[in-house]
Amino acid sequence: MTATELIWLIVYLIAIGIAGIIYWYWHRRTELKFLKRLVTQLSQQHKVRQPLNIATIPYRFIPLYVQLQHLLKQLPPPKGRDKLTGLLNRVGLKAKLTCKMPLTHGMFVLIDIHRFRYVNDLFGFSLGDKLLQALAERLERRIGDKDMLARMNEDEFLIYFNTPMSEAELMVFQQGLAQPISIKGTVINLQLQLGYLELSLHHADVSQMLRRLDLALVRAKSASNYIAAYQEGDDRSQHRQLTIVSCFPKALEQNELYLVFQPKYNLATGNCTHAEALIRWDSSVLGPVSPGEFIPLLECAGMISLLSQWVIDQVLLQQVRWQESDIRLELAINLAIDDLSEKQLSERIITRLKQHGLSAQVLSIEITESQLMTDMVRTVAVLNRLKRAGVKVAIDDFGTGHSSLAYLKHLPVDEVKIDRAFLTGLESDPRAQHIVRSAVDLAKGLDFSVTVEGVEQMPVFKLLQQMGVDKVQGDIYAKPMRAPELEMHWRKLNRPLL
């Protein structure tokens, strides 16, 4: 090809290009005008710092498009819609459901991503957002025209299925949804928890239905397949829990709480030199409430220190009275991990002992093995301070908290209390005996005193004695009792028993 031919070819191509652009703009003129108007409007509404020069639109279609996209991202989502996924949000869903009430058929499923927080912590919020979008798309693909889908909060999605599913069908649905999701080369394995509610069984208003779904989800979190239905009575138990927590501070003021004491018996001497203080609550609203029920709730509500401070004061007051009557008993109090996270606790105990003129030997502390393991570094620091002041420390429910054996030797502990779970079948099962014997040997090898709790039968007691256990506590000797009763017991029994 000669140079002249090449020049003509280039001119020809340029001419075709220009004609193409003119043709394209001519056919897009309506859209361009619309874009022009939209950008002007949005720029004004959202006070864009460098609004696009409208006159340049025909030459700047691509920047215009980019700016439009940017503006669209800044727009608030339509009312009732979730910005990230475009699904209905809680408000939108409630409004839509209210219009459809009374709903008498179908089912609701509330879906939660197990440990979603870790995805954000490990991979960052942007990947977390992408995961939520991907899951929202998966959900959208799986619902029908008559179903409804909403994002209720951070990692919770709700579906209304017009046609209910069985639990087996829900499991298949759950597995399909939970297939690993790959985002920017990172593969994320999902674990989804599903709480569900069948409408044929429960007619309620929208807010109540949503509350019931939350309760079903709470149930699902501890179910083996992470799926659970709302059950009649869940409302009542939630109501009871709320009543317990809200009544507790008043109960303290109104003297509804009291202490009972359960002796620990020394197997070598037969003497009773130690007892454990256990809380009791006779509520004016609920009747007797067991510590097994209200203590975990107080822990969850962050109110356990209120109780512990009361117990410490009561135990020390009791000790003052007993000192005056020459009754010598070391009293153990149960503390929770939250108590030990409080820096002032050890100081408070030490100050109170001084105020009452009591020696530290009148008091000891029990902390469960599982609680000890949750924040060992901090707990050990507090326990060390108490030990330096002369207060003894016991590991409660020993053997149930998965403590690492390697740590045991570093724990500032004087006593381990072997949990009563280990006593099941002890008299007849050599393997059970082997386990308890090993635990006793381990503890004694580390110079801990060994107490076994929950002893109810004589054959078990005899076996424990042979194993070299130091103290036993349990109904075989004495159930927990009020202070005057213990006082009489102490006077009567502070001599060899067997």
Coil, strand or helix: which one is 48?
coil
- Rank residues 235 and 299 by Cβ distance to ligand C2E and give the closer one: 299
By CB under 6 A, tell whether 148 contacts ligand C2E. no
By CB under 6 A, tell whether 272 contacts ligand C2E. no
- Rank residues 228 and 382 by Cβ distance to Ca ion and give the closer one: 382
By CB under 5 A, tell whether 403 contacts Ca ion. no
User: What residue 128 binds from Ca ion, ligand C2E, none (CB within 5 to 8 A, per partner kind)?
Assistant: none
Q: Is the peptide bond before 102 cis (omega within 30 degrees of 0)?
A: yes
Cα gap 498→493, rounded to integer Å? 11
Query: From the list 256, 396, 470, 487, which residue makes contact with ligand C2E (rule: CB under 6 A)?
Result: 396
- Rank residues 256 and 366 by Cβ distance to ligand C2E and give the closer one: 366
By CB under 5 A, tell whether 366 contacts Ca ion. yes
Query: From the list 14, 475, 488, 496, which residue makes contact with ligand C2E (rule: CB under 6 A)?
Result: 475
Query: From the list 155, 214, 339, 397, which residue makes contact with Ca ion (rule: CB under 5 A)?
Result: 397
- Rank residues 215 and 279 by Cβ distance to ligand C2E and give the closer one: 279
Q: Where are the alpha helices (DSSP H) in 28-150?
A: 29-45, 61-74, 90-100, 116-123, 125-142
Residue 347 — left, alpha, or beta (φ > 0 → left; ψ -120 to 50 → alpha)?
alpha
By CB under 5 A, tell whether 339 contacts Ca ion. no
Number of residues that bind ligand C2E (CB under 6 A): 23
Residue 73 — left, alpha, or beta (φ > 0 → left; ψ -120 to 50 → alpha)?
alpha
Query: From the list 291, 401, 412, 468, which residue makes contact with ligand C2E (rule: CB under 6 A)?
Result: 291
Residue 88's contacts (CB-CB under 8 Å, 6 or more residues apart) are 80, 81, 82, 96, 148, 149, 150, 151
Residue 405 — left, alpha, or beta (φ > 0 → left; ψ -120 to 50 → alpha)?
alpha
Q: Which stretch binds Ca ion (CB under 5 A): 307-315, 396-404, 424-432, 458-466?
A: 396-404
DSSP state of 280: E
Strand order in the sheet with 227-229: 148-153, 156-161, 107-113, 192-198, 227-229
User: What residue 303 binds from ligand C2E, Ca ion, none (CB within 5 to 8 A, per partner kind)?
Assistant: none
User: What residue 112 binds from Ca ion, ligand C2E, none (CB within 5 to 8 A, per partner kind)?
Assistant: none
Q: Which stretch binds ligand C2E (CB under 6 A): 19-27, 139-147, 347-355, 450-458?
A: 450-458
Token pair listed for 349: 């105990």
Question: Minimum CB separation from ligand C2E for residue 293, in Å?
Answer: 9
Beta strands in 326-478 (DSSP E): 330-334, 363-368, 392-398, 415-418, 449-453, 471-473
Query: From the list 262, 283, 314, 319, which residue makes contact with ligand C2E (rule: CB under 6 A)?
Result: 262
By CB under 6 A, tell whether 454 contacts ligand C2E. yes
- Rank residues 278 and 435 by Cβ distance to Ca ion and give the closer one: 278
Residues 331, 276 contacting (CB under 8 angstroms): yes
Beta strands in 267-414 (DSSP E): 272-283, 287-289, 330-334, 363-368, 392-398
Binding site for Ca ion (CB under 5 A): 334, 366, 396-397
